[in-house]
Homo-oligomer: A and B are copies of this chain.
Amino acid sequence: MAKSDGRKFAIGVDYGTNSVRALVVDVADGAEIATHVYDYPGGEAGVLLDSKDPNLARQNPADYIEGFYKSVRRTVAAAKRKRGFQPDNVIGIGVDTTGSTPIPVDRDGTPLALLPKFKKRLAAQAWLWKDHTGHAEAAEITAKAKSDADRYLANCGGTYSSEWYWSKILHCKREDPKTFATAYSWVELADFIPAYITGNTNPHTMKRGICAAGHKAMYGAAWGGLPKPDFLAAIDPELAAVREHYSSEVVPANQVAGHLTATIAKKVGLPAGVTVAVGAFDAHMGAVGAGIRPGTLVKIIGTSTCDMMVAPMDRELPEIPGLCGVVPGSIIPGMYGLEAGQSAVGDIFNWFTRYLTPAKYGSKGDAHANLTRDAEKLEPGESGLLALDWNNGNRTILVDPLLTGLLIGQTLHTQAPEIYRALVEATAFGALTIINRFEEYGVKVEEVVNCGGIAEKNPFVMQIYADVCNRPMKISRSAQTCALGAAIFGAVVGGAYSSVQAAQERMTGVKKQAFHPHAGRAAVYAELYKLYRELHDAFGLPGQRDSLNRVMKELISIRNRVRKG
């Protein structure tokens, strides 16, 4: 047996859209000892789809449980081959997941989908974050909340999303009343995993995290927890019951959810009783793994972005219009957690390479590399193009999923690399708009730390971000910030640190090499950004009857009508 040298370890388990990753880290410095990724076997790349409804995206809860076993067991096994690691020295486990991903459960907290009678029912599965079947219900909830004296939406941008908890539950009642009637409670995936592995899935006594509850279920101290019964009943009388079958305690992720059961510990090769932290969302723990602190914006850049900040609670925050959410303790306990984001970033680049790139640039990864090679040679403004980054709507600051893309400036000579660069620039302008929004409301952005696939692998994009935002773009030291963040919470509940901040101080950091803005390019981008904002406001702000915003919306309404035939 290898000598432990007194080292202690924590495990982070990160549930993504298509797979789950486990990561063992050294709590002393965050050094990453071993990792393993398990792909969910169900549906398409782990997602259950419905060919009749493109809005539907569900997931089999059995894949989550199997995913915990496989990913943790293999990671522990790999770690054991490294010098200095012993399973006995694992002091804590943290869990982060996608969200809002609510799961209908029975009175014992068992997912309905695990019961033979409900196994095949789509409504009985986990409702994956990107399931938009509840869009009509979201509009209904938004309307009700807007006319309510309790300003439920004040801290989530003023619009309740189809991706969130209550929209999904209400839609379930309409899509599949039997499943709805059988569900005793609805549990977020971020809460389910810690509950399951610690053996306390009772919907009333399990620990639910403030991150999921606060950002997605309208949980707020101002109205004493979940929305008031009369508000929920006014939307649907049966929604009030969902409220009754909820945990009495909602806490931040530095709290203990419980301890690993002997059965599960055995399955994954760990000692029984390891302390497990309360769960939270991937982006929130990812922000912790990237070293978030007051003044630091953490951008997690992949197919879309999450843009996270924290702010001390010693002074009250103003309402910041367009943010996805402001929740006390959702990122770092004792601080406001602020979440913003862009609906599509990498997805826009992928769209362009998949559907609009001629043969000479190759396909997929080659297309990105070849377009980048030519796009990199261009100077800002040289193409004469300008785009809006709205192919998947606009999350922050417009909170409008029904906005669409725009490209202007094309001539008969415009070529693919020019458009590719314009699309990258558009996402950078979108990023700057978010930074500006934070600062307009007094949340100063003193540094930007980037993580996620694009930050890791795409210097072309990151340099444009530095030039457009006219700020250095730092890159997180870890390439697995979400799993690292989860492990940090494991380290905290395991007793290695007295606070999340103290753990971050030792376990996180940025790479030496940052992307610095080039003064000349930044100056041209400042001009272009003014023009971007004019298009942004003209098309993005709902205005008068003759506004251009209405032009975009009418196109969609005509499209929907025609598609329905």
Contacts and interface: CB of A to CB of B under 8 A. Distances in A.
Contact of A408 (B354, B409, B419, B555): B555
Given A412-B351, A412-B391, A524 B405 contact: no
B355 A355 contact: no
Chain copies in the assembled complex: 2
Interface string A414-444: 1110010000000000000000000000000
Contacts of A363: 359
Nearest to A521: B562
Contacts of A406: 406-408, 410
Given A531-B551, A555-B531, A559-B383, A411 B416 contact: no
A355 B416 contact: yes
| Interface range, A side | 35 or more
Given A344-B412, A351-B412, 5 more contacts: A381-B559, A392-B412, A404-B408, A405-B414, A409-B559
A347 interface: yes
A392 B413 CA distance: 9
Nearest to A392: B412
A356 B416 contact: yes
20 contacts: A348-B412, A351-B412, A351-B413, A355-B358, A355-B415, A357-B358, A381-B558, A381-B561, A386-B555, A391-B412, A392-B411, A404-B409, A405-B411, A406-B406, A406-B410, A527-B554, A528-B555, A531-B551, A535-B551, A548-B548
Nearest to A367: B358
A528 B558 contact: yes
A316 interface: no
Contact of A384 (B355, B359, B559): B559
A534 interface: yes
Nearest to A410: B405
A99 B419 CA distance: 34
B559 A535 contact: no
Contacts of A407: 405-408, 410
A498 to B, nearest CB: 45
A109 interface: no
Nearest to A537: B546
B358 A408 contact: no
Contacts of A415: 355
Contact of A409 (B351, B538, B546, B555): B555
> Lowest 4 A-B CB distances belong to which pairs?
A359-B359, A384-B559, A405-B410, A381-B558
A317 interface: no
Interface in A512-553: 524, 527-528, 531, 534-535, 538-539, 546, 548, 551-552
A410 B382 contact: no
A284 B535 CA distance: 41
A159 to B, nearest CB: 19
A380 interface: yes
A45 interface: no
A502 interface: no
A355 to B, nearest CB: 5
A191 to B, nearest CB: 31
